[in-house]
Structure 1
Amino acid sequence: MKIGVLALQGAVSEHIRSLEQAGAEAVAVKKTQQLSELDGLVIPGGESTTIGKLMQKYGFIEQIREFSEAGKPIFGTCAGLIVLAKEIEGQEQPHLGLMDITVTRNAFGRQKESFEIDLPVVGIEQPIRAVFIRAPLIREIGADVEVLSVYNGEMVTAREGHLLVSSFHPELTDDYRLHEYFTQMVRQSKTGESKG
C-alpha cells in the first residue's frame, strides 16, 4: 500500500512520517506520472491559491480528478481541504471541486491566533491532538458528507466516501491516528471493501 503526499507546498515530510507511523509506505509526489503507482493521496496545508496554481501549472488538476474518479482515497488537510472543496466562499473558481462542501478560508483568523486542542473524531476512540493554523472552516455540506468532528459548533473534519478532510494539521503532532484512519480507508478501497 503506497500513499503519496503532494509535494508542491506544505508539511510534506511531516505527513510522510505520520503515514509511515500508521503503517503505510509514503512518498513525496512531484510529478503527475507518480499518481498511477499510488493507492491514496494526501494534499497538505500551505496556501490554497498557491497550491491551486502549482497544480494547474504541473498538470495535476485533471490527473487528481481521474485519481478520485477511480475511487482512490484522498485526504486534504487545511489548505488541502480548500483545494478539494466544490465551493469556496468569496471565490469563483474551486480548484479540484471534488468534495460536496462549501468552505471559508482563514476562518480562524491570522497566524498568531493558531491553537492546539484535543478533538473528538467519529471512528477514533480517544480525542486526537489537532493544530489549527489560519484554518479554514466547512460551512455547508452535501447529503453524502459525514461530519466527523466539530469545534465550537463548526465542522472541522468530514468524509464523503473516499474523500477525507480536516481544517487542522494532524501531521504537526506525534498523534498519527487520523493518518491511521486514512490508511484504513486506503486499505479498504484497495481490497474493494465498502466503508466500514
Structure 2
Amino acid sequence: MKIGVLALQGAVAEHVKSLEKAGAEEVVTVKRRRDLEGLDGIVLPGGESTTIGKLMREYDLLEPIREMGQRGVPLFGTCAGLILLARRIHGQEDVHLGLMDVLVDRNSFGRQRESFEADLEIQGLEGGPYRSVFIRAPHIMEVGTGVDVLCKFQDRIVAARQGNLLGASFHPELTDDIRFHRYFLEMVRESRCIAK
C-alpha cells in the first residue's frame, strides 16, 4: 500500500509519521505530477486552501488528483484539505477539486489565536473519544446525498465521508492518536480489494 501526502504546504511530516505508525507500507510526498504514480491513496493536509489550490494548478496536480478521486482512489482532506475536496465553498464561486458533495465554510471556528482542542465521538472509530486539534478550521454546512456525517461538534459537521472521500475540519496528524489515519488506510484496503 503506497500513500501520498500532498507536500505543498502544511503538516506534511506529521501526516507521513502518522500514516507510517498506522501501518502504511510506503508513504511518499507529492510535489510533482510524477509523484502520483502508483499511489493507492492521497492525503491533502491543512494550510491555506487558496494557496494550496493555486500551487496545485501551478504544479499540474489539480486535474490528475481530481481524476484519481473520480476513479475511486481514496482521498483524505484535513482542514484546508477538506476545503480542497468540497464541491461548494460558502461565499466563493471558485472551487478546487470539487469532488465531495458538501458546502464548507472557511475559518468558521475563528482565527489562529482561537485555536482549540476537543474530544470528539467519531462514527467508525472505536476506543472512546478522539482528541482533535482545530486551527482556523472550516466546517461542513450542508451535505448532499451519499455523504455520511461521521462527527459533529457544537452542532457543526466536522467529519464526513462520501465513498472514497474522507474529510475532517481538524488536524488528526497533530496528536499521537492514529485511529483516524488507520480508518483512512482501511478505506484504501477496501478500494484495492474492489479494484481487483
Which TM-score applies when normalising by structure 2? 0.97
Aligned to 1:166: 168
Write the letter of the residue equivalent to 1:3.
I
Decide whether the 8 Å contact of 1:35 with 1:67 is kept in 2.
no
Q: How does 1:18-167 map to 2 (within 5 A)?
A: 18-24=18-24, 25-125=26-126, 126-167=128-169
3-state SS, counterpart of residue 192 of structure 1: helix
Dislocated runs of 4+, deviation >6 Å: none
- CA displacement at 1:35 relative to structure 2: 1.2
1:33-79 residue CA offsets vs partner (Å, 9 max, x unmatched) = 12121000000000000001000101111100111122110000000
Structure 1 CA distance for aligned equivalents of residues 67 and 35 of structure 2: 13
Instruction: Percent identity, please.
Output: 62
C-alpha distance in 1, partners of 2:56/2:5? 13
- 1:3 counterpart residue number: 3
| Counterpart amino acid of residue 82 in structure 1 | I
Give the root-mean-square deviation of aligned CA atoms. Answer: 0.9
Aligned residues of 1:115 and 1:132 also touching (Cα < 8 A) = yes
- Cross-structure match for 2:14: 14
Q: Is contact 1:149–1:158 with CA below 8 Å preserved after alignment?
A: yes
- Unpaired segments ≥5 residues, structure 2: none
Report if aligned partners of 1:137, 1:155 keep a CA contact under 8 Å in 2: yes
Structure 1 alignment gaps of length 5 or more: none
- Corresponding residue for residue 189 of structure 2: 187
Alpha-carbon distance between aligned partners in 2 of 1:108 and 1:4, rounded to the nearest angstrom: 28
**Structure 2: how far apart are the matches of 1:140 and 1:54?**
27
Q: CA deviation at 1:186?
A: 0.3
